[in-house]
Amino acid sequence: MKTILITGASDGLGRALAEELAGTGVTVNSLHPATFMATAMTHASGVDVKEPVEKGVAATSRLVSDPELATVTGRFYNGETETPPPHSEALAPPYRRRLADLTDELLKLASV
């Protein structure tokens, strides 16, 4: 089973979830599929389109279906390119726990 956390900002959360699910057969990777694709959200925000939706679809499809990535977990991809790991402090468990707690608080405030 594959799980993809699609985000432009949360490599740490993806890595933390990958660690939590280690050994379960579920893989988790973070993906920033493309920048300012031609989507309804981009158009509604008034931001100029930078990349076609097809670029984001290709990156997402590759991460889901490429047999070479079937067991890859805890990684961050910008499009189809794996990015280097973040600064070691960003991977520290106390920092990641704090980030997860703050995210939970914000989601509760937003009633999500």
List strands edge to edge, sheet with 2-6: 2-6, 27-32, 76-78, 81-82
Give CA 52 to chain center in angstroms.
19
Average pLDDT, the chain: 84
Which of 10-19, 33-42, 50-59 is the least confident region? 10-19
Tens-place pLDDT, residues 52-86: 989 989 998 998 889 999 999 988 899 999 988 87
Query: DSSP readout, 45-74?
Result: HTPPP-B-HHHHHHHHHHHHH-GGGTT--S
Name the residue type at position 111: S
With pLDDT > 70 as the criterion, what percentage of the chain qualifies? 89
Query: DSSP readout, 6-30?
Result: E-SS-HHHHHHHHHHTTTTT-EEEE
- With bands split at pLDDT 50, 70 and 90, how would you rate the model's confidence at 23? very high
